[in-house]
Amino acid sequence: MAPTQDKHSSQELLQAQVDLWHHALGFVKSMALKCAMELQIPNTIQNHGGSMSPSELATKIGLHPSKLPRLRRLMRVLTMSGIFVVHEVALPNKEVAYGLTPTTRLLAIDEVRSSLSPFLSLLLDSTVTAPFFAMHSWFLDEHSTSLFEKAHGLNVWEMAGQNSTYNQLINDAMVSDSNFLMDIILRECGGVFLGIKSLIDVAGGHGGSARAIAKAFPQMKCTVLDLPHVVEEAPTDDHVSFISGNMFKHIPPADALFLKVHPLNFSSSLHTHTQFTIGCHKVCI
C-alpha cells in the first residue's frame, strides 16, 4: 500500500515543501544571472580590481540608491549559487565586498580569453526560454518536432534567416563559444590537425573555430560552409574563406571535415543524420 501523508513527520513535510519551492523557483537563478550580465556586473567588478562593495557597485552601474537593498538580494542569490563570492573584508562601513569566481571570470571581458557572455545571452534569450512554458503541449502533440519549432513555428535556422537581430545573436554566441573551446581543443589535442592540407568547417557559423585552426596551422586551407544568411554577415578574413550552401546537399571536397555543433541546435531525427552522413561519404575521397 502507498505510504500516506500521516506517515511523515512534520519536519519531513516541511522539508518537502521547501524542496518544492526550491524546484519551482529554480528559474530565479538563471534570471538573476541574466540580470547581472545585462547590468555589466562581472565586467564592472573586474575593472575595479576584482572586488567591490554593494554601494560602490550600485554607483558604478548607475542604480538609484533606493535599489541598493534589491541589489544586495540579487547578489545574495548569485553568491549562494557560487556565481560571485563574498569577501568578508572589514571595510570602514562594515560592508562586504563582492568578488569574481572562476565562473564569472568567463563572463568578464578579458584581454587574453574571450568572454562567454554572448553565448549565455543566447541561452537566456526569451526565444530559448519561452518554449519551455509550453513543454506539456509539445509532449501531447505527436507531430511536433522540436520545442523551439512548436513555440515559434520555425526552427532555429529558419528564424535566424528571417530575423537579423536573432541571426546576430546566434552568430556572436557561436563565435564566443568557439573562441573559448578552440583554445582548449588546440592545446589538448591539436595534434589531430597535423598533416591536414585542407579543412572544411561544416556549419561553421562566422568561423570562430576555423580562424583558430588557421592561426595554429597557417599552411592549412580553411573554409567555412554555412547557410547564406550567415555567410552574408560573416566578417572577411585573410586566412579563412566562406562558402554559402546547405551541408545536407553538398559539401566541397577537402582532406578533413570539422563539425562542431551543440546538442540544442540540430534535430536528432534519423533523416537529418542520414542526410548528413551521405554528404560526408561524398566528401571523404
Ligand X SMILES: C[S@@+](CC[C@H](N)C(=O)[O-])C[C@H]1O[C@@H](n2cnc3c(N)ncnc32)[C@H](O)[C@@H]1O
Query: Between 30 and 265, whose beta carbon lies closer to ligand X?
Result: 265
Min. distance of Cβ 179 from ligand X in angstroms?
9
Query: Between 9 and 268, whose beta carbon lies closer to ligand X?
Result: 268
Q: Does 230 bind ligand X (CB under 6 A)?
A: yes
Instruction: Point out which span in 44-52, 66-74, 110-118, 224-232 binds ligand X (CB under 6 A).
Output: 224-232
Query: Between 137 and 269, whose beta carbon lies closer to ligand X?
Result: 269
Q: Does 209 bind ligand X (CB under 6 A)?
A: yes
Q: Does 180 bind ligand X (CB under 6 A)?
A: no
Query: Between 50 and 279, whose beta carbon lies closer to ligand X?
Result: 279
C-alpha span between 84 and 71 (Å, rounded): 13
81, 144, 265, 267: which one contacts ligand X (CB under 6 A)?
Answer: 265
Query: Between 79 and 266, whose beta carbon lies closer to ligand X?
Result: 266
C-alpha span between 86 and 81 (Å, rounded): 12
Say how many CA atoms lie within 13 Å of 154 toward its Cβ: 10
* Contacts of 97-102 spanning 24+ positions with Cβ under 8 A: 97/51, 97/52, 97/53, 98/45, 98/51, 98/52, 98/53, 98/54, 98/57, 99/45, 99/50, 99/51, 100/42, 100/45, 100/46, 100/50
C-alpha span between 146 and 12 (Å, rounded): 39
* Cell numbers found for residue 8: 511523515
Instruction: Point out which span in 43-51, 126-134, 145-153, 171-179 binds ligand X (CB under 6 A).
Output: 171-179
- Positive or negative, the CA dihedral 154, 157, 160, 161 is negative
Query: Between 103 and 168, whose beta carbon lies closer to ligand X?
Result: 168
Q: Does 211 bind ligand X (CB under 6 A)?
A: no
Q: Does 203 bind ligand X (CB under 6 A)?
A: yes
Q: Does 276 bind ligand X (CB under 6 A)?
A: no
Query: Measured between alpha carbons, how far is residue 215 from residues 17, 64, 114, 195 in Å?
Result: 55, 46, 16, 15
Instruction: Point out which span in 18-26, 57-65, 127-135, 200-208 binds ligand X (CB under 6 A).
Output: 200-208
Specify whether the CB–CB gap between 172 and 180 falls below 8 A: no
226, 234, 240, 242: which one contacts ligand X (CB under 6 A)?
Answer: 226
Q: Does 103 bind ligand X (CB under 6 A)?
A: no
Min. distance of Cβ 177 from ligand X in angstroms?
6
CA angle 143, 250, 247 (to 5 degrees): 45
* Cell numbers found for residue 233: 554577415
137, 248, 252, 274: which one contacts ligand X (CB under 6 A)?
Answer: 248
Query: Between 54 and 204, whose beta carbon lies closer to ligand X?
Result: 204
Beta-carbon contacts of 114 under 8 Å, excluding residues fewer than 6 positions away, are 176, 179, 180
The footprint of ligand X (CB under 6 A) covers: 157, 174, 177-178, 203-205, 208-209, 225-227, 230, 246-248, 260-262, 265
